[in-house]
Amino acid sequence: METLNFDYPASQPVPRRAYVGVVGSGDLEVLLEPSPDQRAHVTVRTSADGFGEVWEAVLDRFFARNDLAAAIEINDSGATPGTVVLRLAQAVEESRS
Amino acid sequence: MSRGRTWFEALAGATLDGEPASVLCADGTVGDERTRFLTVVPNAEAKFTRARGGELGLEEGWTLARHVREAVAVDDDGDRRALVAVVDVPGQPYGHREELLGLHLALAAAVDAYATARLAGHPVVALAVGQAISGAFLAHGMQANRILALEDPGVTVQVMSKRSTARVTRRSVDELDKIAEEVPATAYDVASFARLGALHRLIEGVDAAEPDAEHVETVRDALAEAITSARHDDSTDLSGRLASPEARRHRSASLRVRERLAEEWTG
Amino acid sequence: MTVSVRSKTRFTELSARERAAALLDSGTFRELIGPFERLESPHLEPQGVVPACDDGVVVARGDIGDQRAVVLAIEGLFQGGGIGEVSGAKIAGALELALRDAERGHPVRPVLLLETGGIRLQEANLGLLAIAEIHAAIVALRSHVPVVGVVAGMVGCFGGMAIAAGLCSHLVMTREGRLGLNGPQVIEQEAGVAELDSEDRRLVWETIGGDQRVATGMADALVEDDVAAIAGAVRIAFETGVPAEHRSAQVGFYEARLAGIDASEPLDGPALRTLWRDEGVGR
């Protein structure tokens, strides 16, 4: 198991906190809340070691497209990048609903 | 001879031929407390072949339930006798027939009976003298007001064999042993179990396999104390297990959860 | 957080949270110790296992049939629904509060959504202790109000939680659901493939599947894997009330049933149904 942390500049507030997903095989859960500052903070706990660069690429891309001052916590059980992107999108959508 | 039988005969003062022969039940005394002793022992002629090694199987579950319920029914009007479950069970049998015929329900029957007895005011005491494994221990012992255990390498509390646990969790036995050092809940020895706070007394200095008269007296005294203290409990539930200092330390999350639930219960 | 569910949906497609919401009267769902409280297991990360923020159990208050209720939903996808310290305490603690209310004359209708392999091995004896507390709470509570269990699949209900199912007042199952003490794979590993071929699906379901369990009187209702059907069955279970004698208390009945089994003869699911039907199934 690995814990990874990422940080991005951000300005848009999170309308509502959101929770999506499940820590099941090949899946992940995402907790999304307003960040205390003008930054996005992401903590990932993942069962699959050695994929730090993949997480970085996925999150870099996500925050390039989403200016969101969010505190995000991810508990991952070996999801593919595609599933990660999907869950993040679901979380953002839920935070707007 | 199984430890269960050894201790049953020493404490109950009886050698019985029960039906089925795998469940021994006798009424005796602890001090001046009327006490029904119960244990499960190996039976090479058991009807269900997978339950011949002392496992708590179909017949054993329903038979324990019958003996316990009989005590509850008979004592309905007066003094509720103590019930002592002498625990030495290698687990529950692995069998197609067992599952088909509702082994889960047979064990539920024993759980039900012991819990019912406790709720009716019978002091129920479990005495672990050997293995106390998984479903068998849940059914025969874990519903007790008080759990006692002998301090002995042969007294273990566990949910699955190390070998099977290793297979299911995909770790080596060595890795599991390392984890057991950090997480006492996964260790099998009785001292580790005691750290979780549910054990009322860990009885030292007793030969669990071949006790002499003095050892038996020591255990008898411990049983007497457990029965008396159970009679003086404020309630007949299991909440005492979480009130011990060890529980506050090693089951703090269990307490925290209950606190939060109570705070949030009425919205 | 809104949790909404269409009524024509397979129950087993839903997460534990969605299943709990589906069984509660519309608009009454309220989760206790929700995800954002992050009351997770303290024992998993030290072992290199990724925790879940709710430890795989959802405690949901609300109404069922306009009566106050609590649904305990186990998330089968997280660690096979295994019961650890926190998840076990959520279930036991909620049942204990329901009992407290019942004793004060305000019964709360308890529902257990059982999607579980039993004790979570990584937490071993903590799971064992929690399950004993769950058992104790069920026995105490069910004299006041029916304790209703649902075994819908896909994980099924095994181990110490199968014992809990055996203690329930009323058990609803789907065909896909399985209820047994030891899982088929464990039996095959311990006793050999001749004892039970865990890959023989027909054999497994004929032994411990929902249809078989209902047909042999070990569960009460066989229902379609459908949200409305299961919600309806749960409501009916409460309306039926506390049984005169719980299944796990029917000692004479089951001892007689076992006495009628010739253990030297082979026995399979269909044969057992015939045997027990001829002897008179039911309570």
Of C101, C119, C120, give the one whose Cα is nearest residue C109.
C101
How far apart CA B118 and CA B238 sit, in angstroms, is 10
Kindly report, residue by residue over C163-222, the tens digit of the pLDDT: 999 999 999 999 999 999 999 999 999 999 999 999 999 999 999 999 999 999 999 999
Full set of structural domains in chain C with CATH: 11-179+219-243 (3.90.226.10)
Q: Does B97 touch chain C (CB under 8 A)?
A: yes
| Res A67: pLDDT | 96
Of B135, B249, B125, B237, give the one whose Cα is nearest residue B194.
B249
Across the interface, of C2, C50, C78, the residue whose CB is closest to A1 is C50
CATH number at B42 reads: 3.90.226.10
A17 within 8 A of C37, measured Cβ to Cβ: no
How far apart CA B4 and CA B211 sit, in angstroms, is 12
Domain regions of chain A by residue span: 2-96
A and B interact (at least 3 Cβ pairs within 8 A) = no
Q: b vs e for C57-71, b when ≥16 Cβ sit within 10 Å of the residue's Cβ? A: bbbbbbebeeebbbb
Residue B33 maps to a domain: yes
Question: Chains that contact A by 3+ CB pairs under 8 Å?
Answer: C
Q: Answer yes or no: is pLDDT of A94 > 90.
A: yes
Chain C: closest CA distance from residue B206 (Å): 24
Kindly report, residue by residue over B151-182, the tens digit of the pLDDT: 999 999 999 988 888 988 889 999 999 999 98
Q: How confident is the model at residue C282 (pLDDT cuts 50, 70, 90)?
A: very low
Q: Does B44 touch chain C (CB under 8 A)?
A: no
| Res C108: pLDDT | 97
Residue B61 maps to a domain: yes
Q: Which residues of chain B have pLDDT under 70?
A: 17, 267
Q: Answer yes or no: is pLDDT of C2 > 60.
A: no
C51 and A46 in contact by Cβ < 8 A? no
Of C261, C197, C153, give the one whose Cα is nearest residue B57.
C261
Q: Please state which CATH class domain A2-96 belongs to.
A: alpha beta
Average pLDDT in chain C: 95
Q: Answer yes or no: is pLDDT of C231 > 50.
A: yes
Best C50, C53, C75, C115 member to test A by mutation, with max A CBs in 10 Å, is C50
Q: Tell me the HSE value of B259 on the side-chain side, using a 13 A CA sphere.
A: 9
Kindly report, residue by residue over B254-266, the tens digit of the pLDDT: 999 999 999 999 9
Contact list in C for residue B177 (CB cut-off 8 A) is none
Positive or negative, the CA dihedral C246, C262, C199, B135 is: positive
Residue B265 maps to a domain: no
DSSP label of A25 = T
Q: Does B19 touch chain C (CB under 8 A)?
A: no
Kindly report, residue by residue over A28-66, the tens digit of the pLDDT: 999 999 999 999 999 999 999 999 999 999 999 999 999
How far apart CA C261 and CA B46 sit, in angstroms, is 13
Helix (H) or strand (E) holding B162: helix B162-169
Residue B109 maps to a domain: yes
Closest chain C residue by Cα to residue A47? C50
Q: What's the domain count of chain B?
A: 1
Residue B184's domain comprises 3-236
Across the interface, of A24, A31, A97, the residue whose CB is closest to C35 is A31
Chain A: closest CA distance from residue C157 (Å): 18
C125 and B157 in contact by Cβ < 8 A? yes
Residue A68 tokens read as: 């969101």
